[in-house]
A and B are shown apart, each in its own frame.
Chain A
Amino acid sequence: MNNQVSYVRTQMLAQQPPPGREMGAVKWMRENLFAGPINSALTILGAAAVVWLIASAWPWLAASVWNASTLSECREIIAASWGEGHHGACWAVIKDRWQQYAFGFYPSDLYWRAILALGLLFFALTPVLFAANRRVANRVMGVVSLVVLAFVTVAEFRLIDPADAAAHSIWAAILTVTLVLAVLWAVHIFAPSKLIWFTAIYPGLGFWLLWGGSVWLPVVALAGFVIGWLAFRAAQPFGGPAQLVAMLLVPVLWWIYGAGVAADVLNRIIPFSIEAVGSDKFGGFVLAITIGVAGIALSLPFGIVLALGRQSNMFLVKALSVCFIEFIRGVPLITLLFTASLLLNYFLPPGTNFDIILRVIIMVTLFAAAYIAEVIRGGLAALPRGQYEAADALGLDYWKAQRLIILPQALKISIPGIVSTFIGMFKDTTLVVFVGLLDPLKGITDIVRASTDWKGIYWEPYIFVAAIFFIFNFSMSRYAMYLERKLKTDHR
């Protein structure tokens, strides 16, 4: 049997390694860089562009100066270190003026209040934004606490103008901040579900910390909501529509007629106030964030109402919503801001004169609400008709159907659009410079460039502001992606 020739292989050959061009870096390059003649050309062009960008920006960036007090001093340092005629980046302007970019003309001994207000914002947002994920919430709150403490310490020890420091106690400020943070952490650890109450009072608290003044003004304003809820409960025996009317009417009456008197009386009984800061002192990123956050918080509910109004069966409600949305969307924001600064006082009873920042917030809110309404309308339209029919078949009334079935799904679909509206709004806060407010981009930069020290500087302030805006907006869009992933319930 030995001479029998076997035509069938009885032993497997050892596995060969794949050919060199089909493995490792070479394969990756063949697939991702040189997949064909057009692709290769594009890759080479792209690489050339990258090289060109780096080559033209690097000498300027490499010659960065961080320590100088004037532009001419900065130029001298560059000339001395890198030779005459060399261009370099003068980041010293940022180091010299960053507190103005951050706070505008906010009194320097009160910086801690602005920092605390913005830091607490994250604590207030945590129960809303990271409700489901305790680990992320812990991490966010931890980082925010550390950042707030660090900033407050720096602000207290390094930034206070001797002119502002008269009767100011550094340790009192730091202690207050630490105490507030500690209380919030205690709530977060021992009764996490109660943190939502902090979210509820945050609008008043934030306002009080930023603008100062009597504590009773925000308290009575917030009391309006409690009163509305009480009215809602009180009207229960009279049925749903009466409840709705009571819930809307009573707080409005309170705010118009009761709140001012109540604040006055309370102030006389228990006077408690902190140093007031006028709106003209606001500027920089504190201003941008204040306007942006207030606008975002107010425009979402208003936008939802508008979107529902636009989908309504009632002709008049629909017509009014459509007119409002189309009018706001058809007009540039600048026009609305000018309306706020020039015309709003005409529309109100003679003698009314209210704060410019508040007026701008109102206009920005109206503007963003119209856009959000359109985004949510898209979400409502994208729901299959079966969802509406199923809600009807279950016998749910309009509000229950919206609350339990329609809106949760529609809002989920609309998240990317809503977030990009918010990003757009945050970017648009820079336009307030045209009504005389000191936005970080043009308002503060113009002030910096008008000073004798930094006359003639161009790129550095813009690049700095651009970088900050980029960080804010990019993280917002990343958060939207996180939310989309988290809310995704279809198992594809």
Chain B
Amino acid sequence: MANVHDVPKDTFRLSMLLYDTRYRSLTIQVVIFMLFMAGIAWLIDNTVDNLRALGKDPVFDYSFLGNRAGYDISQRLIEYTNDSTHARAMLVGLLNTLLVSVLGCIAATILGVFAGVLRLSKSWIVARLMTVYVEVTRNVPLLLWILLVYAVFTEAMPAPNAFRPNAEGVAGASMILGDSVAITNRYTAIPNPMYVRDLGTISLGIVHISVNFLVLVAIIAGSIWANRRILAHAAAVQEATGVRPTTWWKSLLTLFGPVVAFLWFMGFHLEYPELKGFNFAGGINVTNSLMALWLALTLYTAAFIAEIVRAGIQAISKGQTEAAFALGLRPGRTMSLVILPQALRVIIPPLISQYLNLTKNSSLAIAVGYLDLRGTLGGITLNQTGRELEAILLMAGIYLTISLIISGAMNVYNKSVKLKER
């Protein structure tokens, strides 16, 4: 009978904390945790001491948000006067940030996709032109583009009263796009969408939203859903019978019919800006700071998007196209069924991080005096109330939330298109 040796006793020695790989990582983590907490405590202790010394006690006091702001914001999406609170000023700023970001993302995507595709064009001139655009734009600071575009608006554009005909009936400047848009050196006047019948507004506590707008959004969402159903039905019929029913006219009708009908029923029309006195009235006057910021962000981000699109298209090997042709797919179907689904997998993640960059870069609004979140909460409010710590933490928190929402959406997308490997 073989002797069963004694199993080594499972004793624990102190040195195992360092030399046994089972425990070492635990030791390291405990040490790091202690150092981390000590560091945090040290920072907080210093902060409290410093703020006490400056007479800012209590340290975290957000009550200033309820005080009267006392400053004006010319570009705003919701009602705001200088009697409103700092909290409302912050909200105006946040909406301004979101406004320029969303506009910028849309425009930059369109321009970037065009530039990216054209850079791959067989036409030598166009490809070179796009290369120059991309390289020049990417290698120069965004701040410079913002200042330069702003200078174009403020320096090279006519004053509003230059649009007035002089004694001979000749105006120094004229409106563009069929007399609907006037670019002046202070603002750009664009037509204002109006309804003859108005369903009024509903109040959501702090903001008022036009019911017309809500109904319009609901109708568009409903149309898209109905169109999805039609396409799904067509796919089901195709699966069952092998013949795909024609859907294009149904799709067109569902997508555009209800919207057009609603707009017609509500008496939708555009109110064109007109020169009244020294200024344009009737339309919407968009400040040049917004226009400059928007255009500069668009130009700059579009160059990066162009590179992303180009890389995405080039990443799909030529064999894929050839295989699709060998299967007898027409070029259009090849694009939509084979190339795009694979290219989008490469394109979308960096594209979304460009959206993220654009949103963060919109904080450069400070350079042209556009009051976004940084300009209101992190600028005037901070200076007026002297609450640097609270204001900057709140601002960082809001930017962080926006970023996390966007990158969360990106992670969901990435999971859904990820190649399944071992």
- Residue numbers of A with Cβ under 8 A of B are 31-33, 35-36, 39-40, 42-43, 45-47, 49-50, 239, 241, 313-317, 320, 326-327, 329-335, 338-339, 342-343, 345-350, 423, 427-428, 430-431, 433-434, 441-442, 458-459, 462, 465-466, 469-470, 473-474, 477
Contact = CB atoms under 8 A, between A and B. Distances in A.
B392 A327 contact: no
A423 B53 contact: no
B410 to A, nearest CB: 12
Interface string B126-162: 1001000001101111111001100100010000000
Given A46-B123, A458-B155, A466-B140, A346 B360 contact: no
B347 to A, nearest CB: 16
Q: Determine the main DSSP class of B at the interface with A.
A: helix
A430 B141 contact: yes
Contact of A335 (B36, B46, B135, B392): B392
A274 B136 CA distance: 41
B139 A350 contact: no
Given A342-B388, A434-B366, A442-B367, A42 B123 contact: yes
Q: Would you list the 3 A-B pairs with minimal beta carbon distance, nearest first?
A: A330-B403, A473-B139, A46-B125
B62 interface: no
Interface string B384-404: 000011001001100110111
B49 interface: yes
Nearest to A329: B403
A349 B46 contact: yes
Interface string B30-63: 0011001000000100110111010000000000
A360 B118 CA distance: 40
B261 to A, nearest CB: 36
Given A43-B123, A462-B151, A332 B363 contact: yes
A315 B141 CA distance: 38
Contacts, number: 159
A350 B29 contact: no
A431 B129 contact: no
Contacts of B24: 241
B18 interface: yes
Count chain A CB atoms within 10 A of each CB in B122, B364, B404 and give the residue with the most.
B122
Contact of B18 (A241, A338, A473): A241
B210 interface: no
A338 B140 contact: no
Interface in B392-422: 392, 395-396, 399-400, 402-404, 407
B361 interface: yes
B121 interface: yes
B195 to A, nearest CB: 38
Contact of B126 (A45, A339, A442): A45
B318 to A, nearest CB: 15
A347 B45 CA distance: 8
Contacts of A39: 121-123
Q: Determine the main DSSP class of A at the interface with B.
A: helix
Given A35-B123, A350-B46, A338 B36 contact: no
Contacts of A31: 122
B124 interface: yes
Nearest to B400: A330
Given A314-B29, A316-B32, A343-B389, A469 B46 contact: no
B19 interface: yes
A465 B136 CA distance: 13
Contacts of A459: 148, 151
Given A338-B378, A346-B50, A350-B46, A462 B144 contact: yes
A259 to B, nearest CB: 20
B36 A320 contact: yes
A342 B391 CA distance: 11
A350 B53 contact: yes
Nearest to B18: A241
8 contacts: A239-B18, A331-B396, A331-B400, A332-B374, A334-B364, A335-B378, A349-B49, A431-B143
Nearest to B129: A46
Interface string B332-375: 00000000000000000000000010001101101100000010
Count chain B CB atoms within 10 A of each CB in A339, A343, A346, A462 and give the residue with the most.
A346
B392 A330 contact: no
B28 interface: yes
Contacts of A47: 125
B46 to A, nearest CB: 6
Contacts of B46: 346-350
Nearest to A40: B123
A472 B125 CA distance: 26
